[in-house]
Amino acid sequence: METAEQNRRDGKLAAIVMAVTTVLWLAFQEIGKQTGLDPRYAVLGDLVALAAYVFALAQVWRIWRRSSGR
């Protein structure tokens, strides 16, 4: 039962991270376009978003490993 609860919490965390990252990244890109922000900051935003997606992927990987019994 503990594993199922942990999988649920990790899945919820991964989903929230992906959704919030996507919304913030899109907003950051639009704000940068509107204000004429230096492209270096856009790249920095891309790297931050990429790091968040890698974290979410790691969470999903952990769930898969835990549920497959490895």
For residue range 18-39, list pLDDT tens digits in order: 999 999 999 999 999 999 999 9
- 30 CB neighbour count, 10 Å cutoff: 10
The tally of CA atoms less than 13 A away on the side-chain side of residue 48 is 15
pTM: 0.87
Predicted confidence at residue 45, as pLDDT, reads 95
CA distance 70 to 66: 6
What's at 14, amino acid-wise?
Answer: A
* Cα 33–chain centre separation: 22
CA distance 16 to 43: 23
